Structure 1
Amino acid sequence: MINLSTLDYVLIISFFLITLFIGIYVSKKSGKNSTEFFLSGRNMPWWLLGVSMVATTFSTDTPNFVTDIVRKDGVSSNWMWWAFLITGLLTVFVYAKLWRKSNVKTDIEFYELRYGGKPAKFLRGFRALYLGFLFNIFAMAGVTLAAIKIGSIMLGLQPWETIIYAGTVTVIFSALGGFKGVVYTDFILFFTAMVGAIGAAYYLVNLPEIGGIEALITHENVVDKLSILPDFNNTEAIITLLVIPLAVQWWSSWYPGSEPGGGGYIAQRMLAAKDENHAIGATFFFNIMHYALRPWPWILVALASLIVFPDIASIQEAFPNISESKLGDDLAYSAMLTKLPSGLLGLVLASLIAAYMSTISTHLNWGSSYIVNDFYKQHVKKNASEKHLVAVGRISTILLMVFSALFALYLQNAKQLFDIIIMFGAGTGLIFILRWFWWRINAWSEISAMTVSGVISLIFSSESISNLFFGHEGFFPIWAKLPVIVFITTAIWILFTFITKPEKQEVLIKFYNKTQPGGPGWIPVLEKVKDNKIILEENKNWNVPSGILAMLLGCILIYSCLFTTGYWIYGEYKLAIITSLLVIISAFLLIRTWKKIKTDVL
């Protein structure tokens, strides 16, 4: 436990008060109707939404998660989530404008735009509860678990105390301010969190026991953890950390904030944008910040922790009051922060509170939007007034907070949750990518994929069954678990697609005319419409190929930025110059390609 100075308390309390003020200030306008409460009237600029996306994914569990995997498997282990950049940029250059054109209130409402009949209605209602309630609680529980660990190590708080103090303020401003309050506070939270993370990394790397960046990267505990790429002599590491994430995981798995084809709270922000260009600009800014720049302060603290706390036993020795059920490598991040001086300590604690509040408030508003717009309004009270819907939104916001806090008390580390979510979404991602461009996909495609993925993941989560099929004694190597689930799920949903009836022609025509996806996947519908002499607006300027090219160039640009930052930090200047040149070249080519897509974000 640390002793906070008066300055630290002033910084933290001021931050709480500013956040509450914003929530109260915008509450009247946010409460006008459900569109204001969940989308802020669809008039948000790209820069504000982009910052909000970054702030939202800057959660308290993220530095803990990064610390956990870096301490165990080195910097290269981050490829398990860096691979999702491909998904993110596909959303930027292909799907962002489609989402904005759809004009739905939530990405779940999309189901009754793209599909028809009872299956579409069931899918919309079920996914609203499945994602908005169940998965949302999982995600928030992981964030709350990290807050609990930070509170216990840095402030000596009991888990319930952390939940009460941080959760109460968050749920109040979320329930009052709605989406507008979330986005406005995210702007402050982003800068607070970034300054805190960078300030902490700089100070901790220069502690006397570490001795600066040069001493850090040459220390025996750290030197074998530095490589940004996995060891190419280690076949299993290459397959697990690079091949599977880049070849399979990014397109096949559903993960909050990195959904193939866009979705979740990222889609919510795209739907709130002024227009298509602002939606594209917001998501592109988010991907640059999220993957290229933000991870390095956390990585540096994780590497430094290997010197100060070389193993879990040393963490336990330094903090004997921590429950064994919460012990893990992820605690090292909070443990390092206890060494910060007064003032910076208050700022960093405020930044961690900011990270927590930003992520939780987003999940509360996003989950509540599903519950209200896609379940309550559709299945409980169809004629509910806008005032009534806002009230239900506020009540559901509070309930989501309560359930996620209770679940957080049973979790042990963030990696647990990451693995669970990845497995449960395995095999469903390809549908989210193709459903815009292939007319034959129907509601049963998604229902079968969702069901099979969940069932198989539950079966393989059993240790005895998993050991029977995977590992040294199984039929497949341990790294094959995700590809096997993806293959089975994909095969079954494709089978269901062809053995069930296609969507009705009027449903497909309505969807096509509204979103104009274009492409060869719609040719059978277009030809049939021409035969029947039905007027259908055909998209002749199909720019998806240019969008895919832009995605590839964007990946080169952002990954080059990631490598460049790392090489400058490591002092590997020749490599840094080479990757810097790659950044410049890819940026030039991306701008030219972007113009072909006929977008001008600024």
Structure 2
Amino acid sequence: METVYGTNLTLWDLGVLAFYLVFMFGIGFVYKSFSSDSSDYFRGGGSMLWWMVGASAFMTQFSAWTFTGAAGKAYTDGALVSLIFFGNAVGYLLNYFVTSYRFRRMRVVTPIDSVRARFGAFNEQIFTWTQVPSRVLYAGIWLNGLAIVVSSVFQIDPLVTVWVVGIAVVVMSVAGGAWAVIASDFIQVLLLMCISIVVCVLALAHPAIGGFSGLMEKVPDHHFNFSVAENARFVYIWIFTAFVVQAFKINNMFDSYRYLCVKNDKQARKASMMACLLMFVGPLIWFIPPMAARVIQPDMASVFPNLANPSEGAFLFMGMEVMPVGMIGLLICSLFAATMSSMDSGLNVNSGIFVSNFYKPILRKNAGDKELLLVGKIMSGVFGILIIGAGLLWLNLKDWDLFEIMVLFGSMIGIPIAMPLVWGLFIKNAPKWAAWSTVLVGVSFSFLSIQTENYGWFGVGDLIGREKSDFLYFFSGLGNVLVCSLWFFLTVFVAKKYGYKPDAEVEEFFENQRTPVDNKAEGGKDSDKNQSTAMGVLCFIYGGFIALLGVLIPNSLSGRVSFLFCGAVIGGIGFALYRSGKKKEAPQLND
């Protein structure tokens, strides 16, 4: 019998966690040599391969919230929550057809550089200081959610989780910059998908479930028939809102930062398609375990009495119920991975924005590249500490609903910021003041939405609980899309009436979008082989470690197979990448 530390944590689990954290530290130092200037550090010199960028683009819409807040929603409401993620997939599909190649053709280092090119220096500062603090708070929410759930389920002090995960991200991001951030995202995608598949398969194989057909029969009716859910008058318009909101959020200029890293516009489209496919497949496996948990344990509050929303522990409950000895450690690593991917992106993007869009144009106009690179590393550390502080701050707000926070923040704040950065990518005749004024109008509309306590004047009667939050989501979400769009087009009409003509910088912005990127001719570095080889070695090491656990840990045959499956997938992909890096040409991976 294995000694248990906390709830279902054995010495094997702790060893798995320790190896994971050391491995993440190591990634930062492996990729340290890849950054010789600020462009390398903030966007990989615009020379990264599509499969790295695609994995990272996927991870930007993923956090531990998927396994906590979203899983809690799946536990109570069933498959409905998956539609948010399908909305993400549709957003990435639009990336593929419409925006990803445009983003790469902007030829900028940070996403705020594109705001300056399109809307001028004033908007550069407006969007810098709306995005940077909000991303710090957002990352703090993710870190807080992880700490609370891990504390309640595994009895690990939330302060320990915040500091350990925070420090790991800071060390990796400061040392390796964008290269380390995106490389770690690729490995973490492999880990997340493998663990999710294992939990899903083992949950369906549980005797109380009896496969997918058994799950369909045993879960409450509303898990797959949304119209019969309690207080679900607005469920279909909520679904429509989720698709619209996510599509606009994923296709705005600020969220271009992943595609700025890829080597050309053709690979940008491949990266967006990879993210799209991952986001379509993911929900099909992520939310089966929490729905199975609803069958096995209808009263999650009796299992996790210390969680403000006990249903948020549903995925982890199912993992503890079915996973073999030692694999709980990998499950926690998956939670860490989901949060770390969100945090490290925040650090790298924020530090890049601070250096390129505030430090250089405002504080040190004549700063050289070495100075910018040094300041970028310092600011990565500073933003890391701020995110840790935000996570500690959110720990004092334990009674808040993570799902509601994330969803409403996206519709009420994210959409007003995104709308001018979507339309501005296509409409050349919009004046520069259209950007900041659209944000102001949208945020004002969101404020009025909150202040409207009684929605009876819509003819829907008094609203409480879920109906009120659903109504607020689609009212603020669709309302902001409509109001912000109308205002933006109104500015075009007004500008035309007063004879506005785009200046040379705006003309160049749109000319760049019509000009395909030639990475080699434009001074890009040819690092394809190094990328494939380095990633191949890292995947082979981590996959080999997991496979070794399948041999060493005394588990049943199914438990050993679970480890060997994860190890074989990660290690096998590593081997394929390593071989491709050793060949002179690897068109199937690098073209």
TM-score (norm 2): 0.77
**Which of 81, 86, 89 is the matching residue for 2:90?**
86
**Which of 488, 493, 500 is the matching residue for 1:493?**
488
Question: What's the counterpart of residue 47 of structure 1?
Answer: 51
Structure 1 counterpart of 2:514, which letter?
Q
| CA 428–493 in structure 1, closer or farther in 2 if over 3 Å, else same | farther
Q: How far apart, CA to CA, are the structure 2 residues paired with 1:225 and 1:481?
A: 26
Q: How far apart, CA to CA, are the structure 2 residues paired with 1:487 and 1:58?
A: 27
Q: How far apart, CA to CA, are the structure 2 residues paired with 1:249 and 1:58?
A: 16
Question: What's the counterpart of residue 296 of structure 2?
Answer: 308
SS at match of 1:83: helix
Structure 2 counterpart of 1:5, which letter?
T
Q: Per-residue deviation at 1:295? A: 1.3
Q: Percent identity?
A: 21
Q: Which runs of 4+ in 1 moved over 4 A?
A: 229-235, 427-430, 465-471, 476-479
Q: How far apart, CA to CA, are the structure 2 residues paired with 1:494 and 1:56?
A: 30
Question: What's the counterpart of residue 443 of structure 2?
Answer: 454
Matched, 1:172 2:163: no
| CA deviation profile, 1:213-239 (whole Å, cap 9, x unmatched) | 3332211x4343124x76799993454
Question: What's the counterpart of residue 511 of structure 1?
Answer: 509
Q: How far apart, CA to CA, are the structure 1 residues paired with 2:164 and 2:504?
A: 53
Q: Per-residue deviation at 1:113? A: 1.7
Q: Per-residue deviation at 1:163? A: 0.3
Question: What's the counterpart of residue 245 of structure 2?
Answer: 249
TM-score (norm 1): 0.75
| CA 159–234 in structure 1, closer or farther in 2 if over 3 Å, else same | closer
Matched, 1:72 2:76: yes
Q: Per-residue deviation at 1:473? A: 4.6
| CA 161–282 in structure 1, closer or farther in 2 if over 3 Å, else same | same
Structure 2 counterpart of 1:437, which letter?
F
| CA 319–99 in structure 1, closer or farther in 2 if over 3 Å, else same | closer
Question: What's the counterpart of residue 280 of structure 1?
Answer: 269
Matched, 1:224 2:228: no
Question: What's the counterpart of residue 556 of structure 1?
Answer: none
Question: Unaligned stretches of 5+ in structure 1?
Answer: 519-599
SS at match of 1:442: coil
Structure 1 counterpart of 2:375, which letter?
V
Q: Per-residue deviation at 1:302? A: 1.6
Question: What's the counterpart of residue 539 of structure 2?
Answer: none
Structure 1 counterpart of 2:150, which letter?
G
Q: How far apart, CA to CA, are the structure 2 residues paired with 1:428 and 1:402?
A: 25
Q: How far apart, CA to CA, are the structure 2 residues paired with 1:385 and 1:177?
A: 20
**Which of 394, 400, 403 is the matching residue for 1:408?**
394
Q: Per-residue deviation at 1:398? A: 2.9
Q: How far apart, CA to CA, are the structure 2 residues paired with 1:466 and 1:142?
A: 29
Q: How far apart, CA to CA, are the structure 1 residues paired with 2:214 and 2:357?
A: 55
Question: What's the counterpart of residue 7 of structure 2?
Answer: 2
| CA 427–13 in structure 1, closer or farther in 2 if over 3 Å, else same | closer
Please identify, of 56-65 and 91-100, the stretch whose mean Cα deviation from structure 2 is larger. 56-65
Structure 1 counterpart of 2:257, which letter?
Q
Question: What's the counterpart of residue 528 of structure 2?
Answer: none
Please give the residue correspondences for 1:142-541 in structure 2 after superposition, counting only pairs within 5 Å. Answer: 142-219=141-218, 221-227=219-225, 236-237=233-234, 239-246=236-243, 248-250=244-246, 253-254=248-249, 258=250, 260-261=251-252, 263-264=254-255, 267-290=256-279, 292-310=280-298, 314-320=299-305, 322=306, 326-339=308-321, 340-400=323-383, 401-409=387-395, 410=397, 412-415=400-403, 416-426=405-415, 429-462=418-451, 464=453, 471-473=460-462, 479-500=474-495, 502-516=500-514
SS at match of 1:104: coil
| CA deviation profile, 1:48-100 (whole Å, cap 9, x unmatched) | 21122234434211122331322333213432442343332222122222222
Aligned residues: 497
Q: Per-residue deviation at 1:471? A: 4.7
Q: Per-residue deviation at 1:382? A: 1.9
Q: How far apart, CA to CA, are the structure 1 residues paired with 2:460 and 2:412?
A: 17
Q: Per-residue deviation at 1:279? A: 0.9
Check conservation: 1:280, 1:601, Cα contact below 8 A: no
Check conservation: 1:77, 1:230, Cα contact below 8 A: no
| CA 196–466 in structure 1, closer or farther in 2 if over 3 Å, else same | same
Please identify, of 235-244 and 171-180, the stretch whose mean Cα deviation from structure 2 is larger. 235-244
Q: How far apart, CA to CA, are the structure 2 residues paired with 1:601 and 1:97?
A: 17
Q: Per-residue deviation at 1:210? A: 3.5
Structure 1 counterpart of 2:314, which letter?
A
CA RMSD of aligned residues (A): 3.0
Matched, 1:111 2:115: yes
| CA 43–517 in structure 1, closer or farther in 2 if over 3 Å, else same | closer
Q: Per-residue deviation at 1:109? A: 0.6
Question: What's the counterpart of residue 527 of structure 1?
Answer: none
Q: How far apart, CA to CA, are the structure 2 residues paired with 1:345 and 1:446?
A: 47
